[in-house]
Chains A and B, each alone.
Chain A
Amino acid sequence: MAAATAPAPPPPGVRTRARDSAASWPLADRVGLACCWAAGLALALVAAAIVIYMAWKGISQLSPSLLVQHPTGDVDQSKAGGFLDPIEGTLLLTLIGIALAVPIGVATALWLVEYGRPAPLARAVESSVEIIAGAPSVVLALFGLTVFSNTFFSFMSFRPTGADLAYGRSFLIAGIVMSLIALPLVVGATREALLQVPNHVREASLALGKTKAATIRRVLLPTIRPGIATGTTLGMGRIVGDTAIVILLLGNTLLTEPQEGLPGFGLLRGTGSTLTSYVYGNSPAGEGNAPEKAYAAAFVLMVIVIALNALATRLARGRDGGPAWIR
């Protein structure tokens, strides 16, 4: 028999054997496969239904003028007015919340990973961040309402004439409590990023004579920037979507009403509304007079939140050219 030449190996990645056909499986396994398909398709259907319905209702009700007009001060929103002030309120609140959450969150994560001693203290700090992560935002809002109604904090809102307590509701106060709910996300993302940096990088920096503080500032922080950005964006998404804190702590005036004083600080001490409280107020759970406006505002809100989450995913994936020694 002539020696047969060995057949050429198939090129990699090309399937050469038949795929296992489900027709040969026992019934129970086929039922399982069918359930998988059903679940997957159900998920896709639900998501598609939400997208299509909100897009249809939202776009049909949304006109560009709504985005730039102020709401009328009326309780009945169905006649005129847009939602410029709620959009402003959302942006302002997100800004305040992130401005507080990012420095504190990054600092906490740095301490936990880089120093973290004594160890019981580090565990306690970790547990407290977990408590905040798990606490419902209503509990935080309730706490904030009671604490900031104290006259000691009246510089953060204002003190009504003839009243014993401070008003306890303003952009600054709501922003402070919002930063608490964004904090765990920032801490978590920063921690993940820090733990990814290999130890030889830190050791090399110390070997070159830099102090640990300088290492953190010059080497680690620039490296974990994508991680911090991811955490920030996730935190922004959470802040934008939260309603309970806004309803309890922002005063719920349809128009942004700054207190007098220095222009910036007066705005911080004033009240206003956000897209979430606007949607809530215009639904049958609030005054309920303008479901069309509620749909339009809900559509804008959804677009903002989805954009933020897409941005967060993009940042988490990172740019392709990271520092070579990280890979």
Chain B
Amino acid sequence: MLRRSTTLAALATVAALALAAPAALAKTTITMSGSTSVAPLVRALAIKYVALHPGKVGFKLQQGGSDIGINDVAHGRVTIGNASRKPQPSDPGGLVFNRIAYDAICVITSTANPLPGLSQAQVQSIFTGRTRSWSQVPGARVHGAIDIFTRTATSGTADAFRAIFLGNTLSVAASAPAKSSNGLVNQSVRTDNNAIGFVSLDFLRGVRAIPYQGVACTLRNAKSGQYQGIRPFSLVTRGAATGAAKAFIGWVQHSAAARAIINTHWIPLG
């Protein structure tokens, strides 16, 4: 009987220590979810932040699309939500969009179909499904049906595309396959000669970016303001940011190291 109670006591002590220790040494963890366009930028920023402030903060990054991030942070599920679009009236209340950078959306086709350029009217008629065949598009090098690829409903890129390119009144054809990330759209367009889609500027590997309204979709044109398809990246918090999140967001918005990272593939603020 004595042996059993001491065993139980020992187990209880170990359990208590195991629970207490994490509380004592607690390193804060910032969790983020949301846009797949913001994810590469935030990942690079987080790695640099952890390197500069070792042992203080940890990061966990998930994706899912801007709407997922916004809803997660509004419900208190994550610390920061990553959004790649402007706030919309349908967003939950009480959110603060801390803008950190700008990014361009490029219309892409496969390398077998290097279109010379598209106007806004052409983009609208192709993506809404009015123009169904490549033979109706001047400058197309392939024939057959146009395979449109769009993003799932939770994507901020899709919302920004609709706002900027489709004038907020039209919608992408309902039957277009909806991919859940930029990478998947890139992959679908890369492997299908008749495909057309839209991705963030960072996801152009293996596909061809089409000039929009006469301006090529490059980082330089985006920075100079010539390219029209620009949308903001924001780190969304519930109310004003506090604590570790505030420190991180402040670092991203104001430090030179962060600005250097943003400058590589995105457009810094101001």
Please determine whether A260 and B26 come into contact, CB atoms closer than 8 angstroms: yes
Min CB–CB distance B57 → chain A (angstroms): 9
B78: Cβ under 8 A from any A Cβ: yes
- Known pairs A259-B22, A260-B22, A262-B18; A163 contacts B77 (CB<8 A): yes
B8: Cβ under 8 A from any A Cβ: no
Please determine whether B184 and A160 come into contact, CB atoms closer than 8 angstroms: no
Q: Which residues of B lie under 8 Å from residue A251 when comparing CB positions?
A: 60
Distance A158 CA – B22 CA, assembled complex (angstroms): 9
Q: Which residues of A lie under 8 Å from residue B62 when comparing CB positions?
A: 252
Q: Which of A265-324 contact B (CB under 8 A)?
A: 265-266, 269, 271, 284, 287-289
Please determine whether A259 and B29 come into contact, CB atoms closer than 8 angstroms: yes
By beta carbon, the residue of chain A nearest B25 is A260
Please determine whether B18 and A265 come into contact, CB atoms closer than 8 angstroms: yes
Please determine whether A164 and B75 come into contact, CB atoms closer than 8 angstroms: yes
Distance A164 CA – B60 CA, assembled complex (angstroms): 16
Please determine whether A75 and B78 come into contact, CB atoms closer than 8 angstroms: no
Number of interface residues of A (CB under 8 A): 29
Q: Which residues of A lie under 8 Å from residue B31 when comparing CB positions?
A: 160, 163, 167
How does the 8 Å CB contact mask read for A111-153 relative to B, with 1 for contact and 0 for none?
0000000000000000000000000000000000000010000
Q: Which residues of B lie under 8 Å from residue A253 when comparing CB positions?
A: 60
- Known pairs A257-B58, A271-B60, A284-B184; A162 contacts B245 (CB<8 A): yes
Distance A167 CA – B243 CA, assembled complex (angstroms): 18
Please determine whether A163 and B78 come into contact, CB atoms closer than 8 angstroms: yes
Please determine whether A288 and B60 come into contact, CB atoms closer than 8 angstroms: no
By beta carbon, the residue of chain B nearest A287 is B183
Q: Which residues of B lie under 8 Å from residue A284 when comparing CB positions?
A: 184, 187
By beta carbon, the residue of chain A nearest B187 is A288
Distance A115 CA – B28 CA, assembled complex (angstroms): 50
A222: Cβ under 8 A from any B Cβ: no
How does the 8 Å CB contact mask read for A230-250 relative to B, with 1 for contact and 0 for none?
000000000000000000000
Q: Which of B22, B184, B237 contacts A162 (CB 8 A)?
A: B237
Q: Which of A163, A266, A288 contacts B76 (CB 8 A)?
A: A163
Please determine whether B19 and A161 come into contact, CB atoms closer than 8 angstroms: no
Distance A313 CA – B58 CA, assembled complex (angstroms): 45
Min CB–CB distance A71 → chain B (angstroms): 14
Please determine whether A161 and B184 come into contact, CB atoms closer than 8 angstroms: no
Please determine whether B29 and A158 come into contact, CB atoms closer than 8 angstroms: yes
Distance A243 CA – B28 CA, assembled complex (angstroms): 29
Min CB–CB distance A262 → chain B (angstroms): 5
Min CB–CB distance A45 → chain B (angstroms): 29
Min CB–CB distance A159 → chain B (angstroms): 8
Q: Which of A75, A164, A257, A261 contacts B21 (CB 8 A)?
A: A261
Please determine whether B22 and A160 come into contact, CB atoms closer than 8 angstroms: no
Q: Which residues of A lie under 8 Å from residue B78 when comparing CB positions?
A: 160, 163
B37: Cβ under 8 A from any A Cβ: no
By beta carbon, the residue of chain A nearest B205 is A76
A56: Cβ under 8 A from any B Cβ: no
Please determine whether B27 and A162 come into contact, CB atoms closer than 8 angstroms: no
Q: Which residues of B lie under 8 Å from residue A164 when comparing CB positions?
A: 75-77
Min CB–CB distance A167 → chain B (angstroms): 6
Distance A265 CA – B58 CA, assembled complex (angstroms): 17
Q: Which residues of A lie under 8 Å from residue B237 when comparing CB positions?
A: 162
A216: Cβ under 8 A from any B Cβ: no
How does the 8 Å CB contact mask read for B188-227 relative to A, with 1 for contact and 0 for none?
0000000000000000000000000000000000000000
- Known pairs A260-B27, A262-B17; A161 contacts B79 (CB<8 A): yes
Please determine whether B75 and A161 come into contact, CB atoms closer than 8 angstroms: no
Q: Which residues of B lie under 8 Å from residue A37 when comparing CB positions?
A: none
Q: Beyond A158-B22, A161-B244, A252-B62, list 8 extra A-B contacts (CB 8 Å).
A: A75-B43, A75-B183, A76-B183, A155-B22, A162-B237, A162-B243, A167-B60, A262-B17
> Can you list 20 A-B pairs, Cβ within 8 angstroms, ordered by A?
A73-B43, A73-B47, A75-B40, A155-B19, A158-B22, A158-B29, A160-B30, A161-B30, A161-B244, A162-B79, A163-B77, A164-B75, A164-B76, A257-B58, A257-B60, A260-B26, A260-B27, A262-B18, A262-B22, A271-B60
**What 6 pairs across the A-B complex have the smallest Cβ distances?**
A164-B76, A261-B22, A160-B31, A265-B18, A162-B79, A161-B28
